[in-house]
Amino acid sequence: MDSRLRGNDSLAVNKMHFLITAGGTREYIDPVRFISNASSGRMGYALAQAAIKAGYEVTLVSASDLQPPVGVDFVGVDSAAEMFAAVKKSFAKCDCLIMAAAVSDYTPVKVSKTKIKKSDKNLVIKLKPTADILKWAGKHKNESRVTSHGSRIIVGFALEDKNLRKNAEKKLKEKNLDMIVANSPAAIGYEKSTVHIKTPNHKWLKLPHTTKTTIAKKIVDLLTC
């Protein structure tokens, strides 16, 4: 494992702080309807549980309705903008950010203040890109660091339906990440999945048909070994 991902000897285990995002964000069209995705949030919650169990501090920023693990500092959000604001707020104090959330790529340009009534006409909703939280984190990962704590670690997830490793590795490099965890859409909603893990200058590690609990423990171990 890259030395940047090793725990610092001067950093006590209970001092390392994980900032983990989970769930699929909701981009509202009107007060009762929203655009979202099929992410359950289970992977992010499993990561939070694994980090807590290993003795670390955890802030969990979640757009999921799952019950938070005992011991985490929980921040509930809905939209991508709210998640970005929450990540920014906790970023300075974290030693490792794991972006396991499925953040919406687009959000409505305008949100209706009242429920949109059904009609016989087509409904056109104009969308605009959301902020790229992971890219922002990769750009600012070494800001506000205590020297003895070393570099902040940034971990991203990539859901790819084709050219999985190629596209994930591109994301790893372009967003200045320390680790990428890639899987296919087959992982959505299931307790077991196959993931591919990559860090700079190291070969791919494949975990075939493994529970999210086991995957989460492996990721936390890799980040702190």
Q: If pLDDT is split at 50, 70 and 90, which confidence band does 225 have?
A: confident
Catalytic residue list contains 8: no
Q: Which of 28, 21, 66 is nearest to 48 (CA)?
A: 21
13-22 pLDDT per residue, tens: 447 899 999 9
77-121 pLDDT per residue, tens: 999 999 999 999 999 999 999 999 999 999 999 999 999 999 999
Place of tokens 């048909």: 209
Place of tokens 């936390």: 220
- Residue 35 forms beta bridges with which residues? 27
When pLDDT is averaged across residues 62-68 and rounded to a whole number, the result is 95
When pLDDT is averaged across residues 155-178 and rounded to a whole number, the result is 95
Domains of the chain listed by start with CATH number: 3-110+127-224 (3.40.50.10300)
Q: What is residue 149's DSSP assignment?
A: G
When pLDDT is averaged across residues 40-45 and rounded to a whole number, the result is 94
- Quote the CA–CA distance of 85 and 82 in Å, as a whole number: 5
Out of 8, 14, 37, 183, the active site residue is 37
C-beta of residue 180 within 8 angstroms of C-beta of residue 169: yes
117-155 pLDDT per residue, tens: 999 999 999 999 999 999 999 999 988 765 455 789 999
C-beta of residue 10 within 8 angstroms of C-beta of residue 148: yes
